[in-house]
């Protein structure tokens, strides 16, 4: 850093490199024929060059302004994957040079902006100083057995030909061996290696009336032993097909507002979208963010007895591996548990090295995917109830809630598969969860499947409306996209009973059935 200088411009005070090396294999088949056979080695580097001082540098608005895609440095993130070390040295030199010039430009721009707009966070330092550490969590990652994977997807996909009304399908296996190396001018050296393995089964069911029902089951793990065998995939395909047949006959529900029972995975999705993203500390510094819970520390914001924490150091739960786990974050801070809510009371936020208050200490949640600046993100989010109800008691509480409200029925969300949320102040503070399977439940306990809706809500009303929680919890491994890119996450949650949640119609348009029959009929 002593040699990095541009006359009359600020000098760098901090420099770090995070090298991401990924070896990915992806094999996919449709109806017994191979449609994808991909092997790719990717190596990239996130270089963080900071100018000025820990007290005041070029980064503002919590780092949210540093995710632009049209910067010169973004074209230099990819590194050589083999050959002479000089090629690697050149790539790092060129990237560092571009990042330094951009940092100087951002620093001057920050000064210019403050001529007209007051920085309400000026009393906070720009970056947290950390002591040097060295942790090498190296392990040899498992080799990918390509031949076995090919045989598996060919046989599994061929078995789907017998399923009526399935007009498209695939079976895919993905394997990523991810290696992360972090070094900094503070003297820190960190290494970790994580294997990610995915089996995806997808069916596209088209009813005779032209209504499409996509059905997907994904096994996302870090331990290959948890992947399904051939018989499990076949049986799952039959289950998904039967579910699609039932949904095709189910009545359409256009809208609803009333009591809702969310299964553990659907409840975890609501916790993630309605609550988790709003507890990411960098958002408290970002211009334009709603900052829903900024002043709510010490207040009861959720059902008393319900607690939420995020612990990326937890690698397994009840025999299942957790893909959201990591040893250190993308700013070189060891991962650590972060208590967010204790017995219904908000106690803290997910934090990175960007201070959000006095005596700030990062809890190791600064994460990013590629060129983006790391911001605080979820890892392994865990919700648990002190006095959670067993399944039968929770079901009875649901029925009692329906009866006490005088509602004709309530909604049981059995399965949900994705969601999104808006946290900006200029937009609606809302979230959405995509329902895969739901039923309406009558006061006497009878229920029938319904289709055509997703669940939506505003965060305060949704989490404030939780009136009971289950004891049994389930793991949901998935990917989460936000301003700093897509990162693997895990949610562990019990079922939740909400006294009032809204459902809205899915976007859908019936299709004209295909003119030709399937070619093997």
* Average of per-residue pLDDT values in the chain: 94
Confidence at residue 3, expressed as pLDDT on a 0 to 100 scale: 86
Could you read off the pLDDT of 74-93 as tens digits, one per residue?
Answer: 999 999 999 999 999 999 99
Confidence at residue 300, expressed as pLDDT on a 0 to 100 scale: 96
- In this predicted model, which residue has the larger pLDDT, 250 or 510? 250
Q: Rounded mean pLDDT of 384-405? A: 97
Q: For residue 314, what are the contacts with CB-CB under 8 A and spacing of at least 6?
A: 322, 325, 380, 382
Q: What is the pTM of this model?
A: 0.94
Q: How confident is the model at residue 521 (pLDDT cuts 50, 70, 90)?
A: low
The domains of the chain are located at 12-22+42-137, 146-183+193-248, 255-505
Half-sphere exposure of 473 (CA within 13 A, CB side): 21
Q: What are phi and psi of 153, to 5 degrees?
A: -70, -30
Write the DSSP symbol of residue 484.
T
Give the Cα separation of 381 and 93 in Å (integer).
Answer: 38
Write the DSSP symbol of residue 297.
T
Confidence at residue 10, expressed as pLDDT on a 0 to 100 scale: 92
- Of 205, 197, 113, 98, give the one whose Cα is nearest residue 152: 197
* 443 SS3 class: coil
Residue 381 has pLDDT above 70, yes or no: yes
Q: How confident is the model at residue 425 (pLDDT cuts 50, 70, 90)?
A: low
Q: Rounded mean pLDDT of 27-45? A: 97
Confidence at residue 301, expressed as pLDDT on a 0 to 100 scale: 95
Structure tokens at 502: 């809204």
Give the Cα separation of 420 and 270 in Å (integer).
Answer: 10
Confidence at residue 431, expressed as pLDDT on a 0 to 100 scale: 83
Confidence at residue 95, expressed as pLDDT on a 0 to 100 scale: 97
Q: What percent of the chain has pLDDT over 90?
A: 80
Angle at the Cα of 11 from the Cα atoms of 9 and 13, rounded to 5 degrees = 155
Confidence at residue 419, expressed as pLDDT on a 0 to 100 scale: 81
Could you read off the pLDDT of 346-374 as tens digits, one per residue?
Answer: 999 999 999 999 889 999 999 999 999 99
Could you read off the pLDDT of 246-302 as tens digits, one per residue?
Answer: 999 999 998 999 999 999 999 999 999 999 999 999 999 988 777 888 889 999 999
Structure tokens at 230: 């051939």
- In this predicted model, which residue has the larger pLDDT, 516 or 146? 146
Give the Cα separation of 334 and 353 in Å (integer).
Answer: 11
Q: Rounded mean pLDDT of 194-215? A: 95
Confidence at residue 365, expressed as pLDDT on a 0 to 100 scale: 98
Confidence at residue 510, expressed as pLDDT on a 0 to 100 scale: 85
Confidence at residue 50, expressed as pLDDT on a 0 to 100 scale: 97
Residue 236 has pLDDT above 90, yes or no: yes
Classify each residue of 193-228 as buried b or exposed e, where b means 16 or more C-beta atoms within 10 Å of its C-beta. bbbbbbbbbbbbbbbeeebbbebebebbbbeeebbb
What are the distances in angstroms from CA 255 to CA 96, 116, 438, 440?
53, 47, 13, 12
Residue 423 has pLDDT above 80, yes or no: no
Residue 117 has pLDDT above 80, yes or no: yes
Confidence at residue 70, expressed as pLDDT on a 0 to 100 scale: 85
Residue 341 has pLDDT above 80, yes or no: yes
Confidence at residue 427, expressed as pLDDT on a 0 to 100 scale: 66
Q: How confident is the model at residue 303 (pLDDT cuts 50, 70, 90)?
A: very high
- Helix (H) and strand (E) counts for the chain? 6, 21
- In this predicted model, which residue has the larger pLDDT, 62 or 397? 397
Residue 98 has pLDDT above 70, yes or no: yes
Q: Rounded mean pLDDT of 414-437? A: 80
Confidence at residue 426, expressed as pLDDT on a 0 to 100 scale: 60
Residue 486 has pLDDT above 80, yes or no: yes
Q: What percent of the chain has pLDDT over 70?
A: 99
Confidence at residue 99, expressed as pLDDT on a 0 to 100 scale: 96
CB 27 within 8 A of CB 36: yes
State the SS3 of 164-220. CCEEEEEEEEEEEEEEEEEEECCCCEEEEEEEEEEEEEEEEEECCCCCEEEEEEEEE
């Amino acid at each position: 850093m002593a040699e990095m200088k541009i006359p009359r411009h600020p000098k760098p005070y901090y420099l770090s490199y995070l090298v991401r090396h990924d070896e990915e294999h992806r094999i996919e088949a449709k109806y017994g024929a191979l449609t994808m056979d991909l092997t790719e080695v990717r190596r990239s580097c996130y270089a963080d060059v900071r100018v000025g001082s820990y007290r005041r540098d070029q980064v503002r608005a919590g780092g949210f302004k540093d995710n632009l895609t049209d910067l010169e440095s973004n074209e230099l993130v990819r590194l050589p994957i083999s050959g002479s070390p000089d090629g690697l040295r050149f790539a790092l030199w060129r990237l560092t040079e571009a990042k330094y010039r951009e940092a100087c430009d951002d620093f001057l721009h920050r000064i210019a902006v403050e001529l007209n707009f007051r920085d309400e966070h000026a009393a906070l330092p720009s970056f947290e100083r950390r002591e040097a550490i060295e942790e090498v969590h190296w392990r040899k990652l498992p080799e990918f057995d390509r031949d076995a994977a090919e045989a598996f997807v060919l046989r599994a996909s061929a078995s789907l030909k017998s399923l009526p009304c399935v007009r498209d399908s695939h079976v895919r296996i993905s394997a990523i061996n991810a290696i992360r190396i972090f070094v900094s001018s503070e003297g820190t050296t960190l290494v970790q290696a994580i294997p990610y393995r995915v089996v995806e089964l997808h069916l596209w069911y088209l009813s005779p009336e032209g209504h499409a029902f996509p059905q997907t089951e994904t096994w996302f793990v870090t331990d290959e032993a948890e992947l399904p065998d051939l018989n499990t995939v076949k049986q799952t395909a039959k289950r998904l097909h039967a579910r699609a047949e039932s949904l095709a006959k189910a009545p359409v529900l256009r809208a609803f507002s009333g009591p809702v029972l969310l299964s553990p995975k659907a409840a975890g999705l609501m916790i993630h979208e309605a609550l988790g993203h709003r507890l990411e500390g960098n958002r408290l510094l970002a211009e334009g963010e709603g900052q829903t819970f900024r002043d709510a520390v010490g207040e009861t914001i959720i059902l008393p007895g319900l607690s939420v924490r995020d612990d990326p150091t937890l690698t397994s739960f009840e025999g299942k591996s957790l893909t959201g786990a990591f040893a250190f974050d993308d700013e070189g801070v060891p991962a650590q548990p972060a208590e967010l809510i204790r017995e219904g009371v908000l106690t803290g936020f997910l934090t990175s090295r960007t201070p959000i208050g006095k005596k700030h200490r990062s809890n190791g949640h600064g994460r990013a995917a590629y060129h983006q600046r790391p911001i605080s993100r979820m890892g392994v989010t865990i919700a648990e109830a002190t006095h959670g109800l067993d399944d039968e008691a929770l079901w009875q509480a649901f029925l009692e809630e329906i009866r006490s409200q005088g509602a004709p029925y309530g909604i049981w969300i059995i399965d949900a598969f994705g969601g999104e949320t808006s946290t900006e102040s200029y937009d609606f503070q809302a979230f959405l969860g995509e329902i895969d399977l739901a039923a309406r439940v009558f006061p006497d306990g009878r229920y029938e499947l319904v289709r055509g809706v997703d669940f939506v809500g505003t965060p305060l009303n949704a989490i404030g409306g939780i009136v009971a929680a289950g004891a049994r919890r389930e793991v949901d491994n998935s990917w989460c996209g936000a301003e700093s890119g897509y990162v693997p996450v895990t949610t562990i949650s019990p079922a939740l009973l909400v006294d009032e949640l809204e459902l809205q119609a899915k976007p859908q348009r019936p299709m004209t059935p295909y003119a030709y029959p399937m070619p093997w009929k």
